[in-house]
Structure 1
Amino acid sequence: MPVARGIGRWLIVTTLLLLAALEVLLLVLVFVPLPRRPLIAAGSVLATSWCTPVLGAPALLGLLLVRALWRTRAVRSARWAGWVALTTSAVALASALAPYAAAWETARDRGEGLSLAGQFAGLNYSRGPERDRTLVYARVGRHRMKMDVWLPDGGAPRVPRPAVVWVHGGGWESGHRSQTPRWNEWLNDRGYAVFDIEYRLAPRATQLQQIGDVKCAIGWVRRNAARYAVDPARIVLAGTSAGGNLALSAAYTARDNRPRATCGGARGTAVRAVVSFYGPTDMAGMIAGGANRADPRVRAFMGGSLMTASDGFRLGSPTRLVRADVPPTLLLHGSHDRLVPVAQARELNARLTRAGAVHEYVEIPWADHAFDYNWGNWGTQIARPALADFLRVHAGQ
């Protein structure tokens, strides 16, 4: 009998400590800045995107388990394990509720609501393009640049509809068109045609060439507007992460045609408005003070160093391109972004405010980079109505 009680005690202790270790791991993934290696980054994004249920479920289980097992004689002989589990569970539960409370307050201030059931709406990510929607919009050398065309159901509208040119993310060196398909579906449901584009990736292309590729896509949509029943005066440019950077840079340099469209003289690249989801806004700030300053890949991508390619750094940094007449701008950024510091979005917001430019800044509390890959999390639930309102005002839909 004493042997059985001993085995039961250590089984209970092991269970409590494993649960505590899981909670600590989740807390680290959600809150601690970690190296951006692919596996770690994926775990951080997933844990942060589902922060409330991911932290809340094991925390509640831990509290219930501690309460139930503390009444047994076995746990009384190893109360230290119960206190460890109680502490980690309490911290995890508070950490699970804090993002929801902050998001609820942000949503309330904007006249919106949050859905708990909506947290489980699934992923907003596709492993590959929608090839049955694909066409070539430009040729640069041997490279054929493609876009996926997403059109609303119901055929051609009575009057030309607005369009969104969507630019994917991926750190300028990865990613693909139709990478976030649920945004395209959501926009289609609201009557927008979507042209989800690719662009040449680093290291084969510089950032300025990528901005030129985006301009080529805008020019193509304008030239083919009648074919898709699109109003060329109501084209909105939008992008996520690196795509947000390219979208802002292309929109802010449309008037002076720098960087130039790289597809052979595309004209008419002005857009009605521009939207950036957690995009970098200052390229010098992204590398300053780190090892990337000497990284030959960064030098190649930017066309040189901060000293030798200052014009390239300026044209690829929206904060340096601000004027009073830049297109109306919507910035959506997470306050807990561990890849593109939220300070970048705040600085662009401040400069747009000082310049008197039409813009809106939505900072999403506790959200990390790529928060919208979870279609139902608090950040995406705030971002959707914010984008809908912005498009309704500036694209008339």
Structure 2
Amino acid sequence: MPVARGIGRWLTVALLLLLAALEVLLLVLVFVPLPRRPLVAAASVLATSWCTAVLGVPALLGLVLVRALWRTRAVRTTRWAAWVALSASAVALASALAPYAAALATARVHGEGLSLAAQFAGLNYAREPARDRTLVYARVGKHRMKMDVWLPGGRRPRTTRPAVVWVHGGGWESGHRSQTPRWNEWLNDRGYAVFDIEYRLAPRATQLQQIGDVKCAIGWVRGNAARYAVDPSRIVLAGTSAGGNLALSAAYTARDNRPRPSCETRGDTSVRAVVSFYGPTDMAGMIAGGANRADPRVRRFMGGSLMTASAGFRLGSPVRLVRGDVPPTLLLHGSHDRLVPVRQARELSTRLARAGAVHEYVEIPWADHAFDYNWGNWGTQIARPVLARFLRLHAGH
């Protein structure tokens, strides 16, 4: 019997410490800046996107387990382990509630609420393009430039409708059109035609060439507006991450000679408004002080170094392109973004305000990069009504 009690005691200790270790690991994934290795980054984004459930469920389980075992003989003799598990569970529970409380306060500022059930609405990510919607919008060299066309259901409208040109993310070197399909479906449900475009990727293309591709796509949509019952004066440009950077840069340089569209366009490539989800705004700031300053891939992508390609860094940095007459701008950025520092969005918002430009900046509390890949998390629940109001105001629909 003493042997059995000893085994039971150590099994109890092991269970309590394992639970505490799990909670600490989850806390690290949610709150601590970690190296951006693919698996670590994916785990961090997933943990942050569902942080209330990811932290709350183990925390509640730990509290229930400690209470259930507290009066047993095993716990009386290993109470230190119970205290460790209890402390970890309490911290995890408080950490699970903090992002919700902050998000609820932000949602209420915008006249909205949050739904716990909606947090489990699923992913907003597609592993490949929507090929049944695909067409070629230009040929640039040997590259066939494609877009996926998402149109609202029902009959062709009697009057023209607004459109959104959507630019995918992926660090300028990966990603694909229709990568976040639930945004396209959501926009279609509200009457917007969506043209989800691709652009040439690094390292074969520079950032300025990618901006030219975005302008090329805008020109194509303008030239084919009647075909899709689109009002060419009500085109909104939107993008996520690197796509947000390209969208802002293309919108802010629409009237400039550089960078030029990468194909022949009918008319100008201006847009009614522009939206950036967690996009970089200062390319020099993204690499300053890091090893990437000397990385030949970065130099190739930017067309040179900070010294030799200063014009390229300026044209690809929306924060350096601000004027009072830039298109109305919506910036959505997570305060806990561990890939694109939130200070980039704050700086652009500050400069837009100083210039008197029409803009709105919404900072999503505790949200990490790519928060909208979870279609139901607190950040996406805040972003949807904010985007809806912005589009109604500036695209008139």
Corresponding residue SS for 1:126? coil
SS at match of 2:299: helix
Cα offset, 1:266, TM superposition: 5.5
Task: Report the counterpart of residue 133 of structure 2 in structure 1.
Answer: 133
2:4 maps to 4
Letter in 2 for 1:370: A
Match of 1:179 in 2: 179
Cα distance in 2 for partners of 1:355, 1:132 equals: 44
User: Aligned partners of 2:159 and 2:205: how far apart in 1?
Assistant: 38
Name the residue aligned to 1:326: 326
SS at match of 2:68: helix
Conserved? CA contact 1:215–1:266, under 8 Å: no
Structure 2 counterpart of 1:285, which letter?
G
Residue in structure 1 matched with residue 356 of structure 2 by the alignment: 356
Q: Following TM superposition, by how much is the alpha carbon of 1:267 offset from its aligned partner in structure 2, in angstroms?
A: 3.5
Q: Deviations over 1:203-262 (max 9, x none)?
A: 000000000000000000000000001000000000000000000000000011321001
Per-residue deviation, residues 123-160 of structure 1 (Å, max 9, x unmatched)? 00000000000000011111001000000001311110
Gaps of 5+ in 1: none
The equivalent of 2:345 in structure 1 is: 345
Which residue of the partner structure matches residue 170 of structure 2?
Answer: 170
In the other structure, the counterpart of 1:264 is: 264
For the residues of structure 2 that align with 1:21 and 1:233, how far apart are their CA atoms?
A: 56
Equivalent-residue separation in structure 2 for 1:213 and 1:320 (angstroms)? 21
Q: Does 2:195 correspond to 1:195?
A: yes
Share of identical aligned residues, percent? Answer: 88
Matched AA of 2:132: D
Partners of 2:222 and 2:266 within 8 A in 1: no
Aligned residue for 2:101?
A: 101
CA distance in 1, matches of 2:257, 2:49: 38
Q: Which runs of 5+ in 2 are unaligned?
A: none
TM-score (ref. length: structure 2): 0.99
Q: Identify the residue that residue 151 of structure 1 maps to in structure 2.
A: 151
Match of residue 253 from structure 2: 253
Q: Distance in 1 between matches of 2:158 and 2:297?
A: 49
Say whether the 8 Å CA contact 1:239–1:276 is kept in structure 2.
yes
Contact 1:216 1:266 in 2 (8 A): no
Question: Is the 8 Å Cα contact of residues 219 and 265 (structure 2) preserved in structure 1?
Answer: no
Deviations 1:40-78 (A, max 9, x none): 110000000000000000001001111111110101111
CA distance in 2, matches of 1:52, 1:257: 48
Query: Which amino acid letter does the alignment assign opposite residue 225 of structure 2?
Result: A
Once the two structures are TM-superposed, the CA of residue 265 in structure 1 deviates from its matched residue by 5.0
- Give CA deviations for 1:143-191 in whole Å, capped at 9, x if unaligned: 0010000000013111100000000000000000000000000000000
Q: Give the Cα separation in 1 of the matches to 2:341 and 2:257.
A: 29
CA distance in 2, matches of 1:196, 1:150: 8
1:89 paired to 2:89: yes
AA aligned to 1:54 is: V
The 5 Å alignment of 1:43-122 reads 43-122=43-122
Corresponding pairs, count: 397
CA separation in 2, counterparts of 1:126 and 1:284?
A: 31
Q: Does 1:214 align with 2:201?
A: no
Q: Within 1, Cα distance between the matches of 2:266 and 2:69? A: 71
- For 1:101 and 1:326, the matched residues in 2 are separated by 35
The equivalent of 2:224 in structure 1 is: 224
Q: Does 2:363 align with 1:367? A: no
TM-score scaled by length of structure 1: 0.99
Name the SS for the 1:325 alignment partner. coil
Between 121-130 and 75-84, the greater mean CA deviation after superposition: 75-84
Q: Which amino acid aligns with 1:61?
A: L
Q: Deviations over 1:99-123 (max 9, x none)?
A: 0000000011111010000000000
Q: Distance in 2 between matches of 1:257 and 1:242?
A: 22
Preserved contact between residue 223 and residue 265 of structure 2 (Cα < 8 Å): no
Q: Partners in 2 of 1:279 and 1:266 — Cα distance?
A: 28
Structure 1 residue 2, shift from structure 2 partner: 1.4
Query: Distance in 2 between the 1:394 and 1:156 partners?
Result: 23
> CA 1:266–1:204 in structure 2 vs 1: closer, same or farther (change >3 Å)?
farther
Aligned to 1:299: 299
For structure 1, which segment, 1-10 or 204-213, has the greater mean C-alpha deviation from structure 2 after superposition?
Answer: 1-10
Q: Secondary structure at the match of 1:326?
A: coil
Verify the 8 A CA contact 2:281 2:319 in the aligned structure 1. Answer: yes
SS of equivalent to 1:307: coil
1:4-29 Cα offsets, whole Å, 9 max, x none, are: 21111111111111111111111111
